[in-house]
Amino acid sequence: MQSMTGFGRAEHASEKIIARVEITTVNRKQADIHFSLPRELGGLEAGLRKSVLAIVSRGRANVSIHLERTGSGEETLGVDTDRAQALEAAFTELSKALNRPLQLSAHDFLRTPGIISFDDSGWDSDEALEAIEPALTGALEKLVEMRSSEGADLKTDLLVRLQILEDHVSVIAEISPQVVTRQRELLNNRLRDAGIELDLNDERLLKEIALFAERCDISEETTRLASHLGRFREFLDSGEPSGRSLDFLCQEINREFNTIGSKANDAGIGQNVVAAKTELEKIREQVQNIE
């Protein structure tokens, strides 16, 4: 089991290029991958995205790729003389139009785009990919290591809280059969206090008790809860991403507790339902961090 938050960094040097890759991931319901790499290498993004998606199935991942050359600086400056002459001609024409001299400076040539540039300012895709792929693989390995470590901590915490839920369900299941008996005694006492004597086997009393028992029967809910909690444990032990499934189970567990709370008509069960839902809310918060 993995957390959705993590960080990984790695670098790789090929013959011509050093690639440094950093990946950060945070919580997100769906997989959302964002790349930061040189513009001229945009064509590589689709293939790199597949590599990330093979590891990150859920969460937002920011992938930053920085490149630098390993050589001693073989790049040379290029000068566009035609553009420089055109700039000078423009200044001469302006001088005549304004009837006053305008002097060109070195600063004017430097700030005019295209006059002075690096002859080799871009990146070759094949050369860049040779350095990027191993660095990306290394960063993903570090990311998985961190996410797995956090996932193990989450699993430990969830198992403790899951046991608390199971304890509440056990208490509820134990109390439940006593509810009808207490209701029968309560009803009989009320009739007696009102001066109405009825045999405990009176058909009217038995019918009322039967209706009450049917309304407050929670055996189906406790059975489904036991099933949901067991399935929850299975997902925690699964090596596959299970965040969405666990989130769905939390909703189903909450629904069963709500039903029990509305049907049980018993203070002891009600207290356990409130305590269980409080613990379940903590579980749901943790589940939001699971891939």
Exposed/middle/buried for 25, CB within 10 Å: 0-12, 13-18, 19+?
buried
Would you state the pLDDT for residue 255? 93
Q: For the chain, which residues make up each domain, given as ranges? A: 6-71+124-147, 77-118, 149-287
In tens digits, the chain (291 residues) has pLDDT values of 899 999 999 999 998 899 999 999 999 888 999 999 988 899 999 999 999 999 999 899 999 999 998 865 555 567 888 888 888 888 888 888 888 888 888 888 888 887 876 555 578 899 999 999 999 999 999 999 999 999 999 999 999 999 999 999 999 888 877 665 665 556 555 655 655 565 556 565 556 555 555 566 777 888 899 999 999 999 998 878 899 999 999 999 999 999 888 877 777 888 999 999 999 999 999 999 998
Exposed/middle/buried for 102, CB within 10 Å: 0-12, 13-18, 19+?
middle
Backbone angles phi, psi at 71, to 5 degrees: -70, 175
Report the alpha-carbon distance of residue 209 to residue 177 in Å, rounded.
13
Would you state the pLDDT for residue 188? 58
Report the alpha-carbon distance of residue 22 to residue 67 in Å, rounded.
12
Would you state the pLDDT for residue 96? 87
Would you state the pLDDT for residue 247? 93
Say which residues have a Cβ less than 8 Å from residue 99's Cβ, sequence separation at least 6: none
Report the alpha-carbon distance of residue 291 to residue 289 in Å, rounded.
7
Q: What is the CATH number of domain 6-71+124-147?
A: 3.30.230
Q: Give me the count of residues in the chain.
A: 291
Report the alpha-carbon distance of residue 28 to residue 4 in Å, rounded.
8
Would you state the pLDDT for residue 264? 73
In the chain, DSSP finds a helix count (H) and a strand count (E) of 8, 6
Cα-based torsion angle of the residue sequence 260, 265, 271, 272 in order, rounded to the nearest 10 degrees: -40
Would you state the pLDDT for residue 52? 96
Segment (H or E) for 61: strand 59-69
Report the alpha-carbon distance of residue 57 to residue 91 in Å, rounded.
59
Would you state the pLDDT for residue 138? 97
| Closest of 227, 260, 232 to residue 160, by C-alpha | 232
